[in-house]
Amino acid sequence: MQKYIRIIYVYDALCGWCYGFSKVIHAFYESHGSIFPFEVLSGGMMTGERVGSINDIAPFIKSAYKTVEDTTGIKFGEPYLKHLEEGTMILNSEKPAIALSVFKSYLPEKAVAFTHDLQDAIYFEGQDPNENELYRYLAVNFGIDPDDFEVKLQEESFKTAAFYEFSLAKQIQVTGFPAVLVQSGETGFYLIAKGYTDLDTLELRLQNVLSEIQAS
């Protein structure tokens, strides 16, 4: 009997390394999305006591972004770098996580593309993840009515879904972002990316895991 296999991508919209990984996971999905179902989960990196301004919570990212650029080849846009310099933008993972939950109620099969475009809007275009205007803009790009999307952002059920994802990420023992896992059956989880991973390495690890699953 063939085991059920799916790919789980755990990210956080406010994770700079996830932005650096966004092109990798998008290419990985393009290669394997027609073969395996993909599930995208929000990790809840900046929640609770970790919510605050860049200056108060994460001043280190004012220089750390350069390491992400050098390692991944991604570029942070000037509008975002201006936010870094000012340091007043509030870092809170809740709204972008709710937005992902809302988006998945429309187009779950395009969740990887949504996270890619969301992070591009934040880190390159400099849009504020706390503002509804960002999500209206993304909704239009995916052919979704922006008014409907904005209404759903306020619904408690989608907030509950987002917080469930935070809990689920902890249950499958994800401790850093980005993370990619292969799930086999109900209880088999294989970590194939913990932190930034290049595409060739990700592909190799996937093939190794699939061989292991097939042999078991």
List the domain range (segments joined by +) for residue 214: 172-216
Average of pLDDT values for 157-169? 98
Whether residues 89 and 177 fall in one domain: no
Whether residues 141 and 164 fall in one domain: yes
Whether residues 85 and 129 fall in one domain: yes
Whether residues 69 and 150 fall in one domain: yes
Whether residues 84 and 106 fall in one domain: yes
Whether residues 59 and 85 fall in one domain: yes
CA pair distance 105, 108, nearest whole angstrom? 6
For position 151, which CATH number holds? 1.10.472.60
Question: In this predicted model, what pLDDT tens digit does every residue of 48-100 receive, in sequence order?
Answer: 999 999 999 988 999 999 999 999 999 999 999 999 999 999 999 999 999 99
**And the tokens for 137?**
């803009």
CA pair distance 216, 211, nearest whole angstrom? 9
Whether residues 136 and 207 fall in one domain: no
For residue 205, pLDDT over 60 is answered with: yes
Whether residues 115 and 180 fall in one domain: no
Whether residues 47 and 65 fall in one domain: yes
Whether residues 135 and 205 fall in one domain: no
Q: Are 103 and 111 in contact (CB under 8 A)?
A: yes
The number of folded domains in the chain is 2
Whether residues 132 and 145 fall in one domain: yes
CA distance readout (Å), 139 to 99, 106, 116, 149, 172: 10, 10, 13, 7, 30
Question: In this predicted model, what pLDDT tens digit does every residue of 20-37 receive, in sequence order?
Answer: 999 999 999 999 999 999
For residue 121, pLDDT over 70 is answered with: yes
DSSP classification of residue 37: -
CA pair distance 54, 50, nearest whole angstrom? 11
Whether residues 121 and 178 fall in one domain: no
